Amino acid sequence: MRLADPLDQATGLRRLFAADPAFRAVGILGPDARRNARFTAGVALALGRRGGQALILDEAAAPHNVASLLGILTRHTLLDVARAGHLAQAIQPAGQGVDLLAAHDGIAALARMDEREALLLADGWRGQGEAPQWLLLNSAPGSGQSLSATADLRVLVLPGGKARLAEAYTVMKSAHTIWPGSAWLVVVEGAEAAAGEQLFGNLRETARRFLGIQCDFLGTLPRQREGAHPILADADVIGYSSTRAGATTPSGSAGRGAEMGIMAERLASQPVGEALEFEQYWQRMWLYCRMTADADMKRARDVRWSGKQG
């Protein structure tokens, strides 16, 4: 089902004669906020180097979010622009074809809007240029509710240790419960290739058996180099080092920058699923937020009612 009825005649004609939408949304989830942020930033920059325009919707809060990783001071959040009605006010450039939108209050922001307000907010992007080709939704671990769960394509960032398998499975189960039927890719962050494949195999079997999810392996990212200055280490993690000052990677390893490029190619080759435009996906997120808010209100009423009866 294609969402978002035309707002006016001009919008309808634009969509009628436009080519098939090239927009893709990717939900990035996992139990470790720092690992999620590193992967989100890295794959966004890799997509930017391919010539794509990526917008990171950062649901995680500082200090373990993409903005902190990239050294970006966010002045406005999605809640601020929802009140003002101008989405572009909160978009901040991150370099190399990547933009950032702070949205740790995103569910509350969209839930307060009516449908037309939400669509006008998204459609207002056109005043600043073309809508992004990629929307990367970096989830906040432990929140229980996340806009990233609305994406048809999801990437689970699995920490490279057996002790985190149960947490990663819980994240997958929660998102699947909220919005089932999506495609899953798994990247193991912080492990060698053989160990990463083994961890993925364990998770895949559990997800298939108990959730009916068939997930695919996106790859393994090696451990972060030790002994480097924290800023330089983060630069290596997100792939800056492969594009600046001709930096080299450790012997026998393609390096995280090259791995991110391969993963970006894999993401770009995935089936689109339901082809949505940017505004239509924005409506999907709005609908999810309203449903979440209504469910929360119902639970609160039930609790109050139970207390009165008791």
pLDDT in tens, 178-194: 888 789 999 999 999 99
Q: Under 8 Å CB-to-CB from 248, ≥6 apart: which residues?
A: none
What six digits make up the tokens of 113?
């809007």
Q: Which of these, 204, 237, 239, lies nearest to 218 by C-alpha position?
A: 204
**Bridge partner list, 54:** 98, 134
What six digits make up the tokens of 224?
């972060």
Cα–Cα distance for residue pair 183/168, rounded to 1 Å: 16
Cα–Cα distance for residue pair 72/263, rounded to 1 Å: 24
Residue 31 amino acid letter: P
Q: Which residue is associated with the tokens 């990547």? A: 98
pLDDT beyond 90 at 295: no
- Is the four-CA dihedral 36, 154, 263, 74 of positive or negative sign? negative
**Average of per-residue pLDDT across 57-75:** 92
Q: What is the pLDDT of residue 118?
A: 84
Please state at what angle helix 193-211 crosses helix 165-178, rounded to 10 degrees: 40
Q: What is the pLDDT of residue 231?
A: 38
Q: If you average pLDDT over each of 110-114, 164-168, 258-262, which comes out highest?
A: 164-168
Q: What is the pLDDT of residue 224?
A: 65
Range from 7-16, 205-214, 286-295 carrying the lowest mean pLDDT: 7-16
Q: Which of these, 55, 118, 45, lies nearest to 92 by C-alpha position?
A: 55
Mean of all residue pLDDT scores within the chain:
80
Peptide bond into 63 cis (omega under 30): yes
pLDDT beyond 90 at 298: no
Residue 103 pLDDT level (bands cut at 50, 70, 90): very high
Q: Which of these, 205, 224, 223, lies nearest to 214 by C-alpha position?
A: 205
Residue 24 pLDDT level (bands cut at 50, 70, 90): very high
pLDDT beyond 80 at 265: yes
pLDDT beyond 60 at 304: yes
Q: Which of these, 168, 240, 271, lies nearest to 211 by C-alpha position?
A: 168
Q: Kindly report the CATH class assigned to 19-268+275-309.
A: alpha beta
pLDDT in tens, 193-231: 999 999 999 999 999 999 999 999 999 998 765 443 343
* Number of neighbouring beta carbons within 10 Å of residue 295: 11
Q: Which of these, 74, 71, 92, 75, lies nearest to 240 by C-alpha position?
A: 71
In the chain, the percentage of residues whose pLDDT exceeds 90 is 44
pLDDT beyond 70 at 22: yes
pLDDT in tens, 109-151: 888 888 888 888 877 665 556 778 999 999 988 766 889 989 9
* Number of neighbouring beta carbons within 10 Å of residue 77: 17
**Average of per-residue pLDDT across 11-19:** 47
Q: What is the pLDDT of residue 230?
A: 42
Domain ranges of the chain: 19-268+275-309
How far CA 214 is from CA of 200, 207, 235, in Å, comes to 12, 7, 33
Helix H or strand E segment including 10: helix 9-17
Cα–Cα distance for residue pair 34/57, rounded to 1 Å: 15
Residue 79 pLDDT level (bands cut at 50, 70, 90): confident
**Average of per-residue pLDDT across 162-177:** 94
DSSP SS3 for 76: coil
